[in-house]
Amino acid sequence: MRIADLIGGVVVLILGVAVIYFSSQLEYYSEFGPGPGFLPLWIGIIITAGAIYVIINLLTKHSRTREFFKPRTKLGLQILITIIITFLVLPLLGFSIGLALFIGVTMRMMGKHRWVPCGLTAIVTAIGIRLIFISWLTIPLPRGLIGW
Amino acid sequence: MKMNKLLQVTAMVFLMILIFVSGARAADWKPSKPIEFVAPFAPGGGSDVLARSIASIIEGEKLCPVPLLVVNKAGGSGLVGTTAVAQQKGDPHVLLTYIPGQAQAALVAGKGAPTFRDLTLICGLALDEQLIVVKADSRFKTIQDIIAEAKKRPAELTVGGTGAGQDDQICQRVFERSAGIRFRYIPFKSGGECITALLGGHVDMIWANPPEFVPQWEAKMVRPVAVAKLTRMSEFPDVPTLKEIGHTVTYFFYRGIVTPQGIPAEAAAFYENMFKRLAESSAWKEKYLTKYMLSPGWMGSKEFAKVVAQNEEESKEILKDLGLLK
Amino acid sequence: MELLNNLYTGFSIALTFNNIIYCLVGVLFGQIVGVLPGIGAPTAIALLLPLTYSVNPTSALIMFAGIYYGVAYGGTLTSVLINVPGESSTVMTCVDGYQMALKGRAGAALSVAAIGSFIAGTVSIILLMAFAPALAKFALRFGPPEYFALTAMAFGLLTVFGGEQPIKTIISTMLGLLIATIGLDVVSGMPRFAFGFPQLFGGIDFIVIICGMFGIAEVFSSIEEPEEGELVKSKLRLRDLFLTWEEWIASRWAIVRGGIIGFLVGIIPAGGITTASFLAYLAEKRASKHPELFGHGAIEGVAAPESANNSASISGFAPLLALGVPGSPTTAVMLAGFMMWGIRPGPMLFKTNPDLVWGLISSMYIGNVLLLLINIFLIPAFVVMLRLPYTIIMGFIIVFASVGAYSVNNNFFDVWLMLGFAVLGYLMRKLQYPIVPLVLGLVLGNLSENSLRQALLISGGSFSIFFTRPISLLFVVVAILAYLSPVIRWALKGLRQTKVDPA
């Protein structure tokens, strides 16, 4: 946990420095009052200072340790990857079919449900999205190559 | 299913074209599916009202075989929606409303922002007006009072507007240069915030389009003192133009229609023709121009392209003057 | 007497069969639209606007108003059940509402939200009726300096999030402010932190971030710690669906306070419903005797923001009706509607179209009663949804969050951004960076920065503008006290100890 917290602190530190760098390219003070670069610069400075404080605190004090990775963290990662794949194919499959497939697959993968309930839920989801969001609320969701 | 139908329709259209192939080329192309009509501003704004009025009039007058579906893609002074349309290169089933602000925002934003060169300009439909409006009980009775006071106290009078580096600030700079005065421009996020600040007495005057202040004008809470136009507006016959008092500040606030680049010439011709018929209809006059107090401003694609390019050129020079462009 | 007369006129219009139906359609539609994150009241009304061309404007307006305040009821459902706020105004409900759901108190959370909304809404309507023009005039005194002072005060209230590591609260707030600066700067027109991505010129929409950081990030956390999900199921019994007496006692003052804050923030033109719900939550935590329970399922944490968002959505009509100025995106669309129908809102409206004004206001009473009934009856149906296996609920969360993120601007880019924020939210939670301050920074960032710069433009660069105007001065003083409060408390503690020690 301490390592993870430390890495987090360093990432925040890098972010803070980057913000300072990019906002220094914007005008800090205009004719009257602060310019577009005023607030971002101070945000950058405070983030940087905060990150340094967090890092020093971690290095000097002994905080209680908690595991960063838990037994099921891997499962979370799998879900993340499944979501990424789903989002990649959504423009091709369309929202209704793509998201329905996602629900079916995760039910099978995580919940260890039988194929039939998985399939049924997926079909209901696809119809639901199509009818509610696309037909009724007329949200122009991508319909994919199949056009559904 | 849908795909099949689409294929069938396309095939049929194709067949019909083959059979009836004749003179009028403009009639060769017809939209084959609903048209996505992007309004790059939030619901309720001028561009949204324009898009929705057009869609409903076109449907009522049966000017188009397929429906126009209005979609708001708001943000970044219209650049978000403009970008989305510009990226759909070659797709003839997308339309976008276009105002000078989109061109000017693209100039200021610089890298990555789509200019009119990334779009196919179809036509101009109407002209919006910029007026200087003060509170009803303002000590300024006329625009001359304002000029006189601004000369005494340079850069102290405050003027509210919407969108830095756009229409009203550009208009103001032209006026300032001509009259040899300076104001302090206070940018607000929307016309609503702007008129509210005027009513609250937080700014001395504002730039506004008629729909933004007419309710308050009718209630005698505010009054327009000048209009940046060549001739007086019929709705405000007593309000002088800036030209009358010796300052040629005319601003071409066009409201037009564009599509992505690379669409077939026949498609562009189809739309130009469709919008021409729209602009000539009486419904257009009644349900849009009169209601929202715009001037008719039909421009065909060639003329519109000239106006847009010229407007950008002028804007560029003034934006440099304002220090917003290098 | 005149008020009673007006009320009579109003009800005789609102209670016609036609208008009751329009009201019902409006609130139902609002409830449904509210459930979906990406589309809010403005979009829904803009969608329906062309259809009302031939409808009597009063009826159309009654329907639109129904959508407007119905949305706040609907947004609560998803906030409590799946931690995806259906509307930005129900974000704060997620914080304690979802925690309550995990403890098996989803029914109580939804009930208190519905009852609180009803009470606050009704009181708000009465105040609107009695004082709309006067209130709207007063609200005009809010200019840029007042807005800045108000936001400064709100940030001051954040000190209640002290927690174990106050420095992480500060970093989180700054992250929120930073994200708010992305896009074209209103005051200068320059792009900031867009790195040439035109999709970022408009900034990142609040809903996109919230769907990711609350909804999907929650999925990752729940998968990691599955025992949370189990808890819900084991405890779900019928009597758990309703509010207990203790819960009612705990939340009644929260409803009153939330309602008042909501009403006041709602009438000031740029106030906004979301800001109202945030301020109500922060103030409630401040006022509470046990602030440490907030964030872990405190019922006041649901009652206050829910009452506030509803009363704010109603008082938001004051500027529209009395002055003809839109105070929110929704009222801006309604203003366009007025134009379309050929009616001019504003001070004249009360004289020229009294039927419309009083009919509308009276319909709000009816709409609120309808919403209360709908929600009370629907709560069991929705809570039962939580009995579904978590894998399915998780699927719903992903569906709602991605459809919601997409529909904000009909742009797939936003869906990816949302996923990015989901990962960020998950990591922040794990590393104990609180998320609420980030959200507050997001909500108030633009208002705060723009109004500071506008105020200084108006004053010509002089900061005295914040101290010479009474309302602004009041907020500034409260803000300073809030910032100093940890120091003051620490000093008081020291004093007390030195007194006790010798004895």
Residues of B in contact with A140 (CB under 8 A): 36, 69, 71
B34 within 8 A of B67, measured Cβ to Cβ: yes
Q: In this predicted model, what pLDDT tens digit does every residue of B48-60 receive, in sequence order? A: 989 999 999 999 9
Residue by residue, DSSP assigns C175-191 as: HHHHHHH-EE-TTT--E
Shortest CA gap A60–chain B (Å):
45
| C458/B73 Cβ within 8 A | no
Average confidence (pLDDT) over C96-112: 90
Q: Which of residues 180-219 of B touch C (CB under 8 A)?
A: 184-190, 192-193, 195-197, 199-203, 211, 214-216, 218-219
Residues of A in contact with C186 (CB under 8 A): none
Contacts of C157 (CB under 8 A, 6+ apart): C279, C282, C283, C286, C482
Lowest-pLDDT range, B308-312, C365-369, C495-499? C495-499
- Inter-chain CB pairs, A–B, below 8 Å: 15
| C27: enclosing H helix or E strand | helix C17-35
| B190/C202 Cβ within 8 A | no
Question: How many CB atoms sit inside 10 A of residue C427's CB?
Answer: 17
| C460/B184 Cβ within 8 A | yes
What is the per-residue pLDDT for B12? Answer: 55
The rounded distance, in Å, linking the Cα atoms of A104 and C435 is 31
Q: In this predicted model, what pLDDT tens digit does every residue of B119-143 receive, in sequence order? A: 999 999 999 989 999 999 999 999 9
Query: Which chains neighbour B (Cβ–Cβ under 8 Å, 3 or more pairs)?
Result: A, C
The rounded distance, in Å, linking the Cα atoms of C360 and C354 is 10
Shortest CA gap A146–chain B (Å):
7
Contacts of C118 (CB under 8 A, 6+ apart): C310, C368, C369, C371, C372
First to last CA, chain B: 54
Q: What percent of chain B clears pLDDT 70, i.e. is strictly above it?
A: 92
Q: Quick check: C22 pLDDT over 70?
A: yes
| C171/A34 Cβ within 8 A | no
For chain A, the domains span 2-60, 73-136
Q: In this predicted model, what pLDDT tens digit does every residue of C31-57 receive, in sequence order? A: 888 888 777 888 888 878 877 877 888
The rounded distance, in Å, linking the Cα atoms of B94 and B82 is 11
Residues of C in contact with B77 (CB under 8 A): 184, 189, 201
| B3/A147 Cβ within 8 A | yes
B223 within 8 A of B133, measured Cβ to Cβ: yes
Question: How many CB atoms sit inside 10 A of residue A63's CB?
Answer: 13
| B218/C348 Cβ within 8 A | yes
| B95: enclosing H helix or E strand | strand B94-98
Residue by residue, DSSP assigns C80-141 as: HHHS--SSGGGHHHHHHHHHHHHTT-HHHHHHHHHHHHHHHHHHHHHHHHHHHHHHHHHHTT
Give the burial class of C482: count Cβ atoms within 10 A of its Cβ; 0-12 exposed, 13-18 middle, 19 or more buried: buried
| B98: enclosing H helix or E strand | strand B94-98
Query: Which chains neighbour A (Cβ–Cβ under 8 Å, 3 or more pairs)?
Result: B, C
Shortest CA gap A145–chain C (Å):
16
* Partner residue opposite A19 with nearest CB, options C178, C187, C406: C178
Q: What are phi and psi of B133, to 5 degrees?
A: -125, 135
What would the two tokens of residue C493 be? 């503690």
Residues of C in contact with A3 (CB under 8 A): none
Give the burial class of C301: count Cβ atoms within 10 A of its Cβ; 0-12 exposed, 13-18 middle, 19 or more buried: buried
| C339/B164 Cβ within 8 A | no
| B215/C344 Cβ within 8 A | yes
Q: Where are the beta strands (DSSP E) in C252-318?
A: none
Residues of B in contact with A145 (CB under 8 A): 3
Three-state DSSP state, B207:
strand
What is the per-residue pLDDT for A47? Answer: 96
C36 within 8 A of A137, measured Cβ to Cβ: yes
Q: Does B56 touch chain C (CB under 8 A)?
A: yes
Give the pLDDT band (50/70/90) at residue C104. confident
The rounded distance, in Å, linking the Cα atoms of C420 and C213 is 9
Q: Where are the beta strands (DSSP E) in C345-493?
A: none
What is the per-residue pLDDT for B226? Answer: 94
| A79/C219 Cβ within 8 A | yes
A8 within 8 A of C427, measured Cβ to Cβ: yes
Three-state DSSP state, B21:
coil
Nearest residue of chain B to residue A33 (CA atoms): B186
Higher pLDDT, B39 or C498: B39
Domains in chain B with CATH codes: 24-128+254-321 (3.40.190.150), 131-227 (3.40.190.10)
* Partner residue opposite B200 with nearest CB, options C143, C183, C189: C143
What is the per-residue pLDDT for B19? Answer: 47
What is the per-residue pLDDT for B1? Answer: 42
Question: How many CB atoms sit inside 10 A of residue B282's CB?
Answer: 8
What would the two tokens of residue B258 be? 């564009």
* Partner residue opposite C458 with nearest CB, options B84, B202, B211: B202
What is the per-residue pLDDT for B8? Answer: 60
| B36/A147 Cβ within 8 A | no
What is the per-residue pLDDT for B25? Answer: 47
What is the per-residue pLDDT for C243? Answer: 84
B205 within 8 A of B142, measured Cβ to Cβ: no
Task: Tell me which residues of chain B have a C-beta less than 8 Å from any C-beta of chain A.
Answer: 1-3, 6, 36, 69, 71, 184
What is the per-residue pLDDT for C72? Answer: 82
Nearest residue of chain B to residue C45 (CA atoms): B43
**Nearest partner of B216 among B234, B188, B194, B184, judged by Cα:** B194
Q: In this predicted model, what pLDDT tens digit does every residue of B153-188 receive, in sequence order? A: 998 999 999 878 888 899 999 999 999 999 999 999
What would the two tokens of residue B151 be? 């000369």
CA C315 from centroid of its chain's CA atoms: 13
Beta pairing partners, B162: B188
The rounded distance, in Å, linking the Cα atoms of C396 and C402 is 10
Q: Quick check: C168 pLDDT over 70?
A: yes
* Partner residue opposite A147 with nearest CB, options B2, B71, B184: B2
Q: What percent of chain C clears pLDDT 90, i.e. is strictly above it?
A: 38
Residues of A in contact with B6 (CB under 8 A): 147
Shortest CA gap C54–chain B (Å):
12
* pTM for the full predicted model: 0.86
Q: What are phi and psi of B303, to 5 degrees?
A: -65, -40
| B318: enclosing H helix or E strand | helix B301-321
Nearest residue of chain A to residue C37 (CA atoms): A133
Q: Quick check: B27 pLDDT over 60?
A: no
Q: Which of residues 342-361 of C touch B (CB under 8 A)?
A: 342, 344-348
Question: How many CB atoms sit inside 10 A of residue B138's CB?
Answer: 17
CA angle C249, C252, C257 (to 5 degrees): 145
Q: Quick check: B23 pLDDT over 60?
A: no
C37 within 8 A of A137, measured Cβ to Cβ: no
B185 within 8 A of B161, measured Cβ to Cβ: yes
Give me the residues of chain A with pLDDT under 50, please. none
| B105/C344 Cβ within 8 A | no
Q: Which of residues 21-50 of C touch B (CB under 8 A)?
A: 42-43, 45-46, 49-50
Contacts of B274 (CB under 8 A, 6+ apart): B58, B63, B64
Give the pLDDT band (50/70/90) at residue B302. very high
The rounded distance, in Å, linking the Cα atoms of C449 and A39 is 7
The rounded distance, in Å, linking the Cα atoms of B143 and B221 is 17
Q: Quick check: C428 pLDDT over 70?
A: yes
Contacts of C421 (CB under 8 A, 6+ apart): C208, C209, C211, C212, C213, C217
Beta pairing partners, B132: B207, B226
**With helix as H, strand as E and coil as C, how does B117-185 read?**
HHEEEEEEEEEECCEEEEECCCCCCCHHHHHHHHHHCCCCCEEEEECCCCHHHHHHHHHHHHHCCCCEE
Nearest residue of chain B to residue C451 (CA atoms): B188
Q: What are phi and psi of C435, to 5 degrees?
A: -95, -30
| A111/C389 Cβ within 8 A | yes
Nearest residue of chain C to residue B78 (CA atoms): C202
Q: Does C459 touch chain B (CB under 8 A)?
A: no
CA angle C483, C486, C489 (to 5 degrees): 130
What would the two tokens of residue B228 be? 């940046």
Residues of B in contact with A143 (CB under 8 A): 2
* Average pLDDT over chain C, rounded to an integer: 86
Residues of C in contact with B102 (CB under 8 A): none
Residues of B in contact with C187 (CB under 8 A): 164, 187
- b/e map of B196-206 (b: 16 or more CB within 10 Å)? bbbbbebbbbb
What is the per-residue pLDDT for C232? Answer: 54
What is the per-residue pLDDT for B21? Answer: 44
| C42/B44 Cβ within 8 A | yes
| B72: enclosing H helix or E strand | strand B68-72
CA angle C475, C478, C481 (to 5 degrees): 150
| C326/B77 Cβ within 8 A | no
Where do we find the tokens 């996109």? C208
* Average pLDDT over chain B, rounded to an integer: 88
C379 within 8 A of C107, measured Cβ to Cβ: yes
* Partner residue opposite A106 with nearest CB, options C226, C394, C432: C394
CA pseudo-torsion sign B213, B216, B221, B224? positive
What is the per-residue pLDDT for A54? Answer: 92
Q: In this predicted model, what pLDDT tens digit does every residue of C177-232 receive, in sequence order? A: 999 999 989 888 888 998 888 888 889 988 899 889 988 998 888 888 765 555 55
The rounded distance, in Å, linking the Cα atoms of C156 and C172 is 14
Q: Does A76 touch chain C (CB under 8 A)?
A: yes
Shortest CA gap B100–chain A (Å):
23
Residues of A in contact with C39 (CB under 8 A): 137, 139
Question: How many CB atoms sit inside 10 A of residue C206's CB?
Answer: 18
Average confidence (pLDDT) over C415-425: 95
Query: Which chains neighbour C (Cβ–Cβ under 8 Å, 3 or more pairs)?
Result: A, B
